[in-house]
Amino acid sequence: MAQEVRGVIARSKGAPVEIATIVVPAPGPGEAVVKVQACGVCHTDLHYREGGINDEYPFLLGHEAAGIVEAVGDGVTDLVPGDFVILNWRAVCGTCRACLRGRPWYCFATFNAAQPMTLTDGTALSPALGIGAFAEKTLVHSGQCTKVDPSASPAAVGLLGCGIMAGIGAAVNTGGVTRGDSVAVIGCGGVGNAAVAGAKLAGATKIIAIDLDDRKLAWAKGFGATHTINAGQGDVVEAVRELTDGFGADVVIEAVGRPETWKQAFYARDLAGTVVLVGVPTPDMRLDMPLIDFFSRGGSLKSSWYGDCLPSRDFPYLVDLYQQGRLDLDAFVTETIALDQVEDAFTKMHHGDVLRSVVVFSGTELA
Ligand SMILES: NC(=O)c1ccc[n+]([C@@H]2O[C@H](COP(=O)([O-])OP(=O)(O)OC[C@H]3O[C@@H](n4cnc5c(N)ncnc54)[C@H](O)[C@@H]3O)[C@@H](O)[C@H]2O)c1
Ligand SMILES: [Zn+2]
Ligand SMILES: [Zn+2]
């Protein structure tokens, strides 16, 4: 039977988000209804609200979440009600050209629920990244549910569902950071600081954190940055070169999503080094650079979609590292908030006051 729950929607471009009644259908074949326990506020939710992703309003926001499976539809064999899961936006299909070539982290035909969630008047909602978890319950494809250790804190491990996985994966999977590398990270919000943490996990010996905001840089030190640069106080490229014997870093991760910071990443990199773009630009942004520089500096220029993660491989092991005290996911949770405080959380994000605000639903144990 369909159920009515409360959820946070963005109704039109730029308008503040609002709480609405959401109709969640009973799960159909291959689908699952998940009782959401916690969901982080990611910059991508704000991009949706502002029309930076597409125009398919109204959006049901929220996509960095953990919860408990409540019900599954026909044909679902790997989940049962009661399972503790992190929601993912990469439910791999197994049959697209990427999957068939053994590269499922690029899957080009990921699964989402087939049925829409709606408003009470029947208007279909577009769930952010196919998830829509600023809601007491959400309908997803069963492949979007990754089972992890149920003793972990939902507010902390839910963050692996998007930004923190994207940042760790940008360093470890896309950037291929390895022991002894020098790494620079431009933009140290939740995603950038997760890249700092990922670089540390991978054994980088020099980790340079760069942001305009000293609070972000102080957090970066906690996640493993060995050096920090305030981007507002001088030439970022020169500063990175000074810290790397004049050469530049082996891997530079751009976690802002702007042409000027991408250019800094390009030139702050050693010859034959790697640039990883994990920040998401908007369609109007342009770059104008000498083509000869691309040739003569060599190396590799990559984008990182969701940290090139494979949820079934990466979520459980990162939860294990968290449980062992080797990955401090709690430190990303700056505050926990109620469902009606998402708009305030966007303001705080905008002011740089938080790494992550996390909506925690009543009745959730914070472990
Ligand atoms: N590729 C992916 O799969 C993926 C997944 C999640 C988020 N993202 C994107 O990653 C980006 C970061 O997300 P977030 O949640 O960490 O956002 P955030 O707003 O918390 O962090 C952005 C940081 O960049 C800093 N910054 C802004 N301008 C700067 C400049 N000129 N120089 C240095 N630092 C600067 C800000 O001070 C802030 O700390 C966003 O574009 C988001 O959409 C990408
Ligand atoms: Zn596929
Ligand atoms: Zn996100």
Predicted pLDDT of residue 83: 98
Nearest CA to ligand 1 atom 43: 44
What order of strands is seen across the sheet that includes strand 3-10? 118-119, 18-24, 3-10, 59-60, 126-127
Give the homologous superfamily in CATH for domain 176-303.
NAD(P)-binding Rossmann-like Domain (3.40.50.720)
Calculate how far, in angstroms, residue 43's C-alpha sits from the geometric centre of ligand 3. Answer: 6
Residue 205 has pLDDT above 60, yes or no: yes
Query: Is the beta carbon of 159 within 6 A of some atom in ligand 1?
Result: no
Pairing of strands 269-277, 300-303: parallel
Between CA 8 and CA 344 the distance in angstroms is 13
Summarised one tens digit per residue, pLDDT across range 3-59 is 999 999 999 998 999 999 999 999 999 999 999 999 999 999 999 999 989 999 999
Is there an atom of ligand 1 within 6 Å of 46 CB?
Answer: no
- Residues 302-349: tens digit of each pLDDT: 999 999 999 999 999 999 999 999 999 999 999 999 999 999 999 999
pLDDT confidence bin for 365, thresholds 50/70/90: low
pLDDT of residue 366: 53
Per-residue pLDDT reduced to its tens digit, 333-344: 999 999 999 999
Rounded Cα distance between 238 and 335, Å, is: 35
| Structure token pair of residue 109 | 């035909």
Which amino acid residue places its CA nearest to atom 36 of ligand 1? 187
Average pLDDT over residues 188-198: 97
User: pLDDT tens-digit profile of 80-139?
Assistant: 999 999 999 999 999 999 999 999 999 999 999 999 999 999 999 999 999 999 999 999
Query: What length does the chain have?
Result: 367
Q: What is the pLDDT of residue 250?
A: 98
Asked whether 108 and 97 are in contact (CB, 8 A), the reply is: yes
* Stronger pLDDT, 14 or 76, i.e. the higher one: 76
Q: Ligand 1 centroid vs 254 CA: distance in angstroms?
A: 8
Within 13 Å, how many C-alpha atoms sit on residue 120's CB side? 8
Q: State residue 363's pLDDT score.
A: 72
Residues 6 or more apart whose Cβ sits within 8 Å of residue 261: 186, 187, 231, 254, 279
Please choose, from the candidates 204, 206, 208, 207, the residue with its C-alpha nearest in 3D space to the C-alpha of residue 179: 204
- Which atom of ligand 1 has the smallest separation from the CA of 281? 41
- Residue 6 near residue 19 (C-beta atoms within 8 A): yes
The ranges assigned to domains in the chain are 3-163+308-360, 176-303
Cα(362)–Cα(32) distance, integer angstroms: 21
Per the CB < 8 A criterion, the answer to whether 205 and 187 are in contact is no
User: Which ligand neighbours the alpha carbon of 306 most closely?
Assistant: 1
Q: Which of 197, 201, 198, 203 is nearest to 180 (CA)?
A: 203
Q: What is the pLDDT of residue 362?
A: 83
Indicate which ligand has the atom closest to the C-alpha of 349: 1
* 260 CA: nearest ligand 1 atom: 31
Our mutation pick for probing the ligand 1 site, out of 63, 212, 332, counting the most ligand atoms within 8 A of Cβ, is: 212
* Furthest CA-CA distance within the chain: 64
Burial of 303 (0-12, 13-18, 19+ CB in 10 A): middle
Separation CA 303–CA 185 (nearest Å): 14
For ligand 1, atom 22: residue with the closest CA: 189
Is there an atom of ligand 1 within 6 Å of 90 CB?
no
CA distances from 163 to 19, 79, 116, 291 (A): 23, 25, 25, 32
| CB of 224 closer than 6 angstroms to any ligand 1 atom | no
Give the pLDDT score at 14: 84
CA of 96, nearest ligand number: 2
Instruction: Give 72-76's long-range contacts (Cβ < 8 A, gap of 24+).
Output: 72/27, 72/31, 72/32, 72/33, 72/142, 73/26, 73/27, 73/28, 73/29, 73/30, 73/31, 73/32, 73/142, 74/28, 74/29, 74/30, 75/29, 75/30, 76/27, 76/30, 76/31, 76/32, 76/142
Ligand nearest to the CA of 257: 1
Verify whether ligand 1 is closer than 6 Å to residue 186 (CB atom).
yes
pLDDT of res. 142:
98
Q: What is the domain class of 3-163+308-360 according to CATH? A: alpha beta
Terminal Cα-to-Cα distance of the chain (whole angstroms): 31
Residue 8: per-residue pLDDT: 98
What is the arithmetic mean of pLDDT over 174-203? Answer: 98
What are 226-261's pLDDT values in tens digits?
999 999 999 999 999 999 999 999 999 999 999 999
pLDDT digit string, tens, across residues 145-188 = 999 999 999 999 999 999 999 999 999 999 999 999 999 999 99
